[in-house]
Structures are given as C-alpha cells and as structure tokens.
Amino acid sequence: MKYIKFILLLTLITGITPSLRSADKFIMDSDLSVFKYSDSKSVVEIYFSYTQRCLIYQNSGNEFIATVNTQVIIKDINEGKELFNQTFGMNSQVSDTSRAKLLSKLIGQQNFTLPSGSYKIILIGYDKNSISSSDTSNFELIIPQYEPEKTDMSSLQLSTGIEKSSDKNSIFYKNGLEVTPNPNLLFGGNLNRIFYYIEVYNIEKEFNSDSIFFITQLIDLSGNIVESNQKKEMSRKSAFVEYGFHAADSLQTGSYIFRVMLVNILSGSKIVREKKFYIYNAFQNQETDLADDLGYMQSEFINKSEEFLDNEFEKIIYIRSKKETDEYKKLTTVEDKRKFLYTFWKKKDTSPLTPKFEMRDEYFKRVSEANKKFKQGFTDGWKSDRGRIYILYGPPDDIDRHFMEANVKNYEIWTFEYVEGGTEAIFAETSTSGEGTYFLVHSTLRNEYQDPNWYAKLKK
C-alpha cells in the first residue's frame, strides 16, 4: 500500500480528548476528469475525499491518528481484464478528536495515463481502524481517440480553488495552476465560489475566425439559465487552459448543471461540456443534516415530475402505512413530494453505504415483472392479487397449476419455501373458468386472506 500526499481543506485546531472516538457515517466522495495526453491517450485524474469526522482515531503519544485507505481498480471492459489494483493511504493526525474540532476534509488524487477505450473504475474506501466502515464508487469511462485536425475540449473539472503555482510536486498541480478538487461537487456556505478548469485543444485547426466565444452557464434542473458569462476567445495555441469561477452565494439550495461552450457564432459550430453540481447554502447552521440533504440532491428524485412521483406513490400502496398515505396527500408542492419519497426509501435502505436504494430497485423490478406476468384484462398486473403477492414476497419457489380439470375451476398453488418458514398462496378463477382473472382464495401467509374451505368453493 502506498501513502499519498493530500490536503486538509480547513485548518485543524488542537486540544485533548480520549484515545478512541466513534465516527460519523463513513462516506467516500469521488469524481474524475479526463485530459488529453496525446491523440491516442488521455490522463484520467481520480479524486476522492473523506471528512475527518467519519474516521476512527487512535492515540499515538500526544496525538491521535486515523488512516483511510482508497483501493483503485481499473478494468479494461473491451479486453475483459484488470489493468490496475492498488491501495493508497491517507493519515489524519490531530491533537483533539472532539466533534467540533474535526472540521477538515482529506482530499486525495491519483492520475493514470490510459489509451483510448472503455474502462470501469472502482474505488473502495475504508477506515484502517474499522474495516467495516467502507464505501464504494463505480465509474464507466470511454476515453476517446482524438482527431489531430479537430478542435476539442477536455472534460470539465469543478474545483474549490484555483491559484497560480510553480509547485510541480503538488498532486493538484497542472499547467502552472494549483487546482484543488471537490469530489462531492457540493458548494455553498464557506465554499462560495464554483471554480472551473477545462483544456482546449487544436482551436487553430477549426475555430480560426474572430467570431469564437467561450461561454459558461449555470443552469437549474428546469433548464433555466441562472447565470451566464461569455468572452471572445483570443488564444490560438494548439492547447491552452480556460479557468475562472462563478459565485455560489446567490444560488438556492438544489442541483444545477455547469455548462461550458466553445462557440463559433458565424458557423454555428459548438463544443459543449457539462457537469452536475450541488448547492447547499444553509449547512453552516444545519451541519447534522448536510449528508442527508446532499444525498437527496444527488438522488434521482431531485428532478422527477409530479406525475412520476404520484405514479410511484400509487405503486407503493403495498408497503406504505396509513400515516404515510395521509402525509403524502397533504403535500402541495412537487418539491415536498420529492423529499417525501426520498425519505420513504431512505428509511427502508438495506445498504446505507451504497448510493442506491436497493429495496426500491427490487420493488419496482417486481412491479415490472408483475405487469408482464399477471395482466388481467384492462387491469395492470401489479394491481392483481397475484401481482401483489409477487411484489411483496418475490417469485414463488414452485407453482402447481390446475387448469381445465373436471368439476373444478382453474387454480394455482404458489409455494414459498423460505417465507415465514414455508407458506402457500392459492389463486383461483372464482367466476367463469378460462377468463384468466385470478383472485387470492387462501393463504398461510400472515395477515393474508385465509379460507380453509377454498377448494369446496371452486366446485363447478
């Protein structure tokens, strides 16, 4: 394992506390950028960060030390092989581990030169003093083959700060600048400037008139441009850097798109790069809610329409309580509905260390399967009795179908070997045989309809 240089985003304050402290929820933030190295290769910069508060500290003399490790795995998708697998460590050394003093963030960066192709990058972060405290990020990345006669731009990097520098030993140094990454892409509060860095290649090959403009825009998720700057592009170098910042203190809490465009207004030629970022302008007074608010802003609910939300709410009828039903019906804004569903699934999250809500994914996977398997006339499959049981308990281990038997209506017996120690659910066409509409007529599942005399009632 290698130890790498890193920075602490805020200044540490000293003091004295016990030798071992319990940590906040362990979260690794991560991001990456891609810059041209040659026509056939690119430099991939991988950024990762951790808050001091998520680490476990152990006493070492007059200091307390925590170590966080980041395992970087790079796989070539096309070749189906692993190219790189190595772990990097960062130490946090403090003299006071009280919560109020652990205000800094550990930020690391690793650079890799890769040829054009398709890659999967996996980051696994974990606390050396608490191996169970871990987090994982996955990226799928396509590195282009650059065309030597075509103007192009790198990916867009958003940063907490950019300064001129001659320190080539710094891990954040590039092209005469110190560019400090912001792996969680969260701004606001004391991070009141959104710095951007992007590289332009071969502008003299294509954009060779005086009508070229470099434009930066901040766009909300409704598509409204909330800020826009433009300047005439004067450089004609084969490669150069554009960087600057937008103020963040006037933006409302939420998700935004940072867009950069290189535009020739005469020909209409345009190169666009975008990156999603987040604003939280109240976190100085609500720091305990920061992680959850960031989770909401990074969730897919942040830009869902009211129609989508109402549709999802309808489909979770099998697992929502009466209290939750009454609460949702009182909501009057789409934002409140988004937050309700985010919170609803977060409470049911079975893997809090992953960014997804696995239970939600599984639930709606079953809804989709139920629609395909159990549609009855004009009724969606998820609304049928078989669909409901399928969604709540999953696929049965066995289905015993009885079809077109003499003197008895069609029925089927579902067996669940591992649900409640072994259970059954029996569905039947209680009206005319052969129409395909099945109802639950008996079950040994708890809180489901039971009728020990079900078979007698199916006699024709």
Tens digits of residue pLDDT in 403-423: 888 889 999 999 999 888 899
| Residues 190-247: tens digit of each pLDDT | 788 999 999 999 988 777 677 899 999 999 877 899 999 999 988 878 899 999 999 9
On whether the CB atoms of residues 158 and 185 are closer than 8 A, the answer is yes
Calculate the alpha carbon distances from 412 to 424, 430, 445, 448 in Å: 10, 12, 16, 16
What is the spatial distance between Cα 48 and Cα 6, in angstroms, rounded to a whole number? Answer: 10
Calculate the alpha carbon distances from 205 to 211, 236, 401 in Å: 14, 9, 70
**Which residue would you say has higher pLDDT here, 302 or 118?**
118
Q: What is the mean pLDDT of residues 393-398?
A: 94
**Range from 93-107, 175-189, 260-274 carrying the lowest mean pLDDT:** 93-107
pLDDT above 70 as % of the chain: 89
What is the spatial distance between Cα 453 and Cα 444, in angstroms, rounded to a whole number? Answer: 13
User: β-strand 2-3 against 81-94: which pairing, if any?
Assistant: parallel
In this predicted structure, what is the pLDDT of residue 291? 53
Q: Taking 50 as the threshold, does the pLDDT of residue 143 lie above it?
A: yes
Q: What is the mean pLDDT of residues 142-146?
A: 93
Q: What is the mean pLDDT of residues 27-46?
A: 95
In this predicted structure, what is the pLDDT of residue 12? 29
What is the spatial distance between Cα 273 and Cα 258, in angstroms, rounded to a whole number? Answer: 8
Q: What is the mean pLDDT of residues 177-195?
A: 91
Q: What is the mean pLDDT of residues 164-169?
A: 94
CA 443 to chain CA centroid, Å, is 40
What is the spatial distance between Cα 48 and Cα 134, in angstroms, rounded to a whole number? Answer: 13
User: β-strand 270-279 against 398-402: which pairing, if any?
Assistant: unpaired
| Residues 236-266: tens digit of each pLDDT | 788 999 999 999 888 888 889 999 999 988 8
Calculate the alpha carbon distances from 180 to 49, 109, 158, 159, 247 in Å: 11, 10, 9, 6, 17
What are residue 137's phi and psi, to 5 degrees?
Answer: -130, 145
User: What domains can be seen in the chain, in order of their start residue?
Assistant: 1-146 (2.60.40.3880), 148-298 (2.60.40.3880), 299-458 (no CATH)
Among 179, 60, 188, 24, which Cα is nearest to 109's?
179
Burial category of 196 from C-beta neighbours within 10 Å (exposed 0-12, middle 13-18, buried 19 and up) = buried
Among 210, 214, 201, which Cα is nearest to 270's?
214
In this predicted structure, what is the pLDDT of residue 282? 56
| Residues 338-367: tens digit of each pLDDT | 999 999 998 887 665 566 788 899 999 999
Confidence of residue 69 (pLDDT cuts 50, 70, 90): very high
What are residue 229's phi and psi, to 5 degrees?
Answer: -130, 145
| Residues 260-315: tens digit of each pLDDT | 999 988 888 899 999 999 888 654 344 445 555 667 777 788 888 999 999 999 99
Q: Which residues contact 61 (CB under 8 A, 6 or more apart)?
A: none
What is the spatial distance between Cα 451 and Cα 427, in angstroms, rounded to a whole number? Answer: 12
Tokens in use for 277?
């970022």
pLDDT above 90 as % of the chain: 61
| Residues 421-460: tens digit of each pLDDT | 899 999 999 875 456 789 999 999 988 999 999 999 998 8
Q: Which residues contact 336 (CB under 8 A, 6 or more apart)?
A: none
Calculate the alpha carbon distances from 60 to 76, 95, 167, 336 in Å: 42, 10, 31, 48
On whether the CB atoms of residues 36 and 201 are closer than 8 A, the answer is yes
Integer distance in angstroms from the first to the last C-alpha of the chain? 74
- Taking each helix axis from N to C end, the angle separating 358-373 and 385-393, rounded to the nearest 10 degrees, works out to 150
**Which residue would you say has higher pLDDT here, 37 or 191?**
37
In this predicted structure, what is the pLDDT of residue 432? 59
